Amino acid sequence: MNPLTVVPVSLMLILLGSLTFKRINTPVLGHQHALQGKASSIALSGIFLTLAYLLLLPPVYMGVESLLPFTNGTDLISKYFALVAVAFLGGHLSTAYGSQFARRWTVGAPGAAMLGIVATGLLGTLLATKAPNPSPQLLDYAAQPSVRLNTWLVLAYVAYIVFPLIKPAYKDSRRNPLKVGRIASGLIAAGFALSLMRAFTYPVELSTTGDATYLFMIVSYISTAFVVIGLALFAYARKNRAAQTELGSALSID
Partner 1 sequence: MPVSAAEFREWLEGRSLSPSPTALSALTGINRGTLNNQLRRGNVAESTVITIARATGMNVIDALSVFSPYQVIKSRPIEPSSAEILSQVHHADLMAELQFRTSKKHYPRELRKGIDLIPFPHDGSVRTWIDAIDPGDIRQQMSQETGMALTYIATQLTENKLNPPLAIAASRAGGGSFASGLVVTELITPAEGGWQIRAREDELLEVSDDVLVEAISARIHLLQRRVKQRKEAREYAEKMTELLG
Verify binding: residue 165, partner 1, rule CB under 8 A. Answer: no
- Which long-range CB contacts under 8 A does 199-204 form with residues at least 24 apart? 199/152, 199/155, 199/156, 199/158, 199/159, 200/159, 202/151, 202/152, 202/155
Which residues have a Cβ under 8 Å from the Cβ of 155 and sit 6 or more positions away? 195, 198, 199, 202, 220
Report d(CA 149, CA 239) in Å as an integer. Answer: 42
Which residues have a Cβ under 8 Å from the Cβ of 188 and sit 6 or more positions away? 93, 165, 169, 173, 226, 227, 230, 231
Which region, judged by CB under 8 A, interacts with partner 1, from 87-95, 103-111, 126-134, 149-157?
Answer: 87-95
| Other beta carbons less than 10 A from residue 215's beta carbon | 11
Which region, judged by CB under 8 A, interacts with partner 1, from 64-72, 138-146, 151-159, 243-251?
Answer: 243-251
Contacting residue, 178, 206, 219, 229, with partner 1 by CB under 8 A: 178
Verify binding: residue 222, partner 1, rule CB under 8 A. Answer: no
96 vs 147 by CB, closer to partner 1: 96
104 vs 238 by CB, closer to partner 1: 238
Report d(CA 106, CA 94) in Å as an integer. Answer: 8
Which region, judged by CB under 8 A, interacts with partner 1, from 38-46, 68-76, 120-128, 156-164?
Answer: 38-46
Contacting residue, 49, 87, 96, 107, with partner 1 by CB under 8 A: 96
On whether the CB atoms of residues 25 and 235 are closer than 8 A, the answer is no
Which region, judged by CB under 8 A, interacts with partner 1, from 12-20, 173-181, 190-198, 201-209?
Answer: 173-181
16 vs 184 by CB, closer to partner 1: 184
Q: Which residues bind partner 1 (CB under 8 A)?
A: 29, 37-39, 42, 92-93, 95-96, 172, 176-178, 181, 184, 231, 234-239, 242-244, 246-251, 253
